[in-house]
Amino acid sequence: MEIRAYRPEDEIGWVRCRVLAFLDSAYYDNVLTAKEHYENQAIELIAIMDKTVVGLIDVEYENEERSICYHGSGLGGMIWHIAVHPDYRRQGIARALLTEAERIARKKNINRFEAWTRDDNRVNSWYQQNGFTSDYSYLHLYINEEEGSDVIYSKEKNILPMTIFAHYVGDNKEEVKSQYKRAYECFCYEKFL
């Protein structure tokens, strides 16, 4: 396996890897058709096996405290994407990508990473096994017309909202989760380097 910096010519492989990796996760609906570009500097790495992009990690990092990350003190890096192609899982690829991203981050005086993920047991376990801790969460809600007639409305009579994506940040998460078919708990993880 080769871990190296992402290059523009890797974009198709990056997108394919991310889409396939996310299909069986709680983020199955978060499909990208192009690689994101960041406002700030970023650590963008890919893992290559068999001439294929089999893993990726993108960490946008701060030059000014709390300009990207929400928690902690000092300069942080936000893990926007980490993914492993499903045919190459359980080979240590994600851990190797994280380890290399951490090595690079330390050289840039980044003292912590932050990551957000939904309530997917496999993914949450991976973060915990790799030294991340979580002390904050909120809900991602996908509310359809039938479930949310009191939530979905428009002041414009010719616009008829059919679905809404919302964040619930209150204290009654379990009660709110029970009201909607698609309700995910979104966790913030942090790791000090």
Whether residues 86 and 100 fall in one domain:
yes
For residue 190, being part of any structural domain is answered with no
Q: Please tell me the predicted confidence (pLDDT) of residue 169.
A: 96
What CATH number should be reported for the domain holding residue 108? Answer: 3.40.630.30
Q: What dihedral do alpha carbons 122, 78, 92, 3 form, nearest 10°? A: 150
For residue 44, being part of any structural domain is answered with yes
Q: Please tell me the predicted confidence (pLDDT) of residue 85.
A: 98
Q: Please tell me the predicted confidence (pLDDT) of residue 44.
A: 98
Whether residues 73 and 160 fall in one domain:
no
Closest among 27, 39, 34 to 10, alpha carbons compared? 34
| Counted domains in the chain | 2
Whether residues 113 and 145 fall in one domain:
no
Whether residues 107 and 175 fall in one domain:
no
Cβ atoms 74, 68 nearer than 8 A: no
For residue 172, being part of any structural domain is answered with yes
Whether residues 128 and 143 fall in one domain:
no
76-84 vs 112-118, strand pairing mode: parallel
Q: Please tell me the predicted confidence (pLDDT) of residue 151.
A: 79
Whether residues 121 and 178 fall in one domain:
no
Q: Which stretches in the chain have pLDDT values below 70?
A: none
Tell me the per-residue pLDDT of 63-87, one tens digit each, with 9 for 90 and over.
999 999 988 889 999 999 999 999 9
Whether residues 154 and 115 fall in one domain:
no
- Token pair of 44 as six digits: 């963008």
Q: Please tell me the predicted confidence (pLDDT) of residue 141.
A: 95
Whether residues 116 and 156 fall in one domain:
no
Cβ atoms 64, 81 nearer than 8 A: no
The CA-atom distances, in angstroms, between 92 and each of 4, 54, 82 are 15, 11, 13
Tell me how crowded residue 122 is: count the other CB atoms within 10 A of its CB: 10
For residue 192, being part of any structural domain is answered with no
Which residues on neighbouring strands pair with residue 45, listed in sequence order?
5, 57
Whether residues 142 and 109 fall in one domain:
no
Whether residues 73 and 155 fall in one domain:
no
- Token pair of 88 as six digits: 């190459």
For residue 118, being part of any structural domain is answered with yes
Whether residues 17 and 111 fall in one domain:
yes
For residue 188, being part of any structural domain is answered with no
Q: Please tell me the predicted confidence (pLDDT) of residue 152.
A: 80
Whether residues 21 and 49 fall in one domain:
yes
Q: Which residue has the tokens 């942080």?
A: 76
**Residue-number span of the structural domain to which 114 is assigned:** 2-132
For residue 83, being part of any structural domain is answered with yes
The DSSP call for residue 106 is: H
- Token pair of 159 as six digits: 């616009």
Taking the alpha carbons of 169, 173, 176, 181 in that order, is the dihedral positive or negative? positive
Q: Please tell me the predicted confidence (pLDDT) of residue 63.
A: 94
